[in-house]
Amino acid sequence: MNRRMLQVLRSGPDDEAMWPPPIWMMRQAGRYLPEYKETRAEAGSFLDLCYSPKFATEVTLQPIRRFGFDAAILFSDILVVPDALGRRVTFEPGVGPRLDPIKVNEIKELTVANALEHLKPVFQAVNDIRAALPSETTFLGFCGAPWTVATYMVAGRGTPDQAPTRLFAHQHRAAFLDLIDVLTDVSIDYLSAQIDAGADAVQVFDSWSGILGEPDFNEFCLRPMKRIVAGVKARHPNTPIIGFPKGASLHYERYVEETGVDCVGLDWTYPMKLARERFGTQAVLQGNLDPTRLVAGGEALREGVATILSEAKGSRFIFNLGHGITPETPIDHVAEMIELVRAG
């Protein structure tokens, strides 16, 4: 088995750096691909797409067939977790996810007891995808971090600054921490089940960590992620865990030190050179091309890739974007980015 990305994830600070680095993209299976749009139309609703092993497998494999990335990531959504907890989740075309905002007295009614049963189609998809992937392709499972999932459960939708959830957390601190704990518990079970089904490694997306001040970052991001790492590692000690605390800025160093992640995803605002200096020996670094450079192409793309490769060379490193690929990204630009990275 020669899974280059898995080798990097399992490497130590004294191991020789792999070059050129492995490459994959967040949201690589999605709306920028015409084949995805065709499958999406055939599947019906977005949740039907996520819960169908057949369609989830097909969508996960599409970017691997087209580009030969070093890793595939399960096609699903972070909001299958609240759906599995019994909350109503819908996806409205052109609008996005909608949930019934959770009330304080409903938090105590949440239970993880039936969540894994509800998510069985996801685990079947993981099994089917691993069987269909090339042997050299690393396969990633994932979930949303408790804080990020909680923002949707409280507000009922995505909001620019998560003010509804921040306010809720200030007004109902104990209840909100209970919600974070429930989401942490189900995340441990969910990730562990994905690993049991065939995932080589897992990533936890904390897409909204960057809008929190230090005390809240400690309680809502650091503490639960530390618990998730410990809980998953207790069951699967050799499975690498990637954390992606988007926008964490000055908190990145503490995030690496305190959570125990094997790899940390950097958004495009955090310099790769600084990451190497501050925590490059503690964790594998992943990232961090600005997705708009990929949309722009040309010199903006070439300059962005060159800078990252120059600053990361000699370190344990996985090339990725600093957030997910956007739907308007030209496919030719993705192919060029891969060629630039693989040329080293």
Instruction: Return the sign of the alpha-carbon dihedral for residues 117, 132, 22, 331.
Output: negative
Question: Of 31, 66, 235, 254, which one is the catalytic site residue?
Answer: 31
Domain range 26-289, its CATH number among 3.90.870.20, 3.40.190.10, 3.20.20.70, 3.20.20.210: 3.20.20.210
Average pLDDT over residues 141-159: 97
Residue whose tokens read 């699967």: 236
Which of the residues 27, 223, 293, 316 is marked catalytic? 27
Domain boundaries, the chain: 26-289
- pLDDT (tens digit per residue) in 202-218: 999 999 999 999 999 99
Angle, alpha carbons 292-295-300 (nearest 5°): 70
Task: Give the model's pLDDT for residue 160.
Answer: 87
- Our answer to whether residue 27 is catalytic in this structure is yes
- 88 annotated active-site: no
Catalytically annotated residue among 3, 4, 10, 40: 40
Confidence of residue 230 (pLDDT cuts 50, 70, 90): very high
Question: For 3-101, where are the E strands, in sequence order?
Answer: 71-73, 89-92, 96-99
> Long-range pairs for 14-21 at CB < 8 Å and ≥24 separation?
15/316, 17/313, 17/314, 17/315, 17/316, 17/317, 18/316, 18/317, 19/313, 19/344, 20/309, 20/341, 20/342, 20/343, 20/344, 21/309, 21/312, 21/317, 21/318, 21/319, 21/341
Question: What separation, in Å, do the N-terminal and C-terminal C-alpha atoms of the chain show?
Answer: 23
Q: Give the pLDDT score at 205.
A: 98
For residue 118, pLDDT over 70 is answered with: yes
Q: What is the pLDDT of residues 57-112, one digit of tens each?
A: 999 999 999 999 999 999 999 999 999 999 999 998 878 899 999 999 999 999 88
Write down the pLDDT at residue 92.
Answer: 84
Tokens of 238: 């050799």
Active site residue 40: yes
Q: How does residue 221 score in pLDDT terms, banded at 50, 70 and 90?
A: very high
Instruction: Name the phi and psi angles at 141, rounded to 5.
Output: -90, 175
Cα 164 to Cα 31: distance, rounded to the nearest angstrom: 29
Q: Which residues contact 159 (CB under 8 A, 6 or more apart)?
A: 151, 165
Q: Is position 31 annotated as part of the catalytic site?
A: yes
70, 77, 83, 290: which is the annotated catalytic residue?
A: 77
Q: What is the pTM of this model?
A: 0.97
Q: Among this protein's residues, is 51 annotated catalytic?
A: no
Pairing of strands 241-245, 201-206: parallel
Which residue in the list 32, 51, 152, 255 is annotated as catalytic? 152
pLDDT > 70 fraction of the chain, expressed in percent and rounded:
100
Residue 1 confidence class, pLDDT cut points 50, 70, 90: low
Q: Residue 246: which of 321, 139, 338 has the closest Cα? A: 321
User: How confident is the model over 184-211, as a mean pLDDT?
Assistant: 98
The average confidence (pLDDT) of the chain is 96
What's the pLDDT score for residue 280? Answer: 95
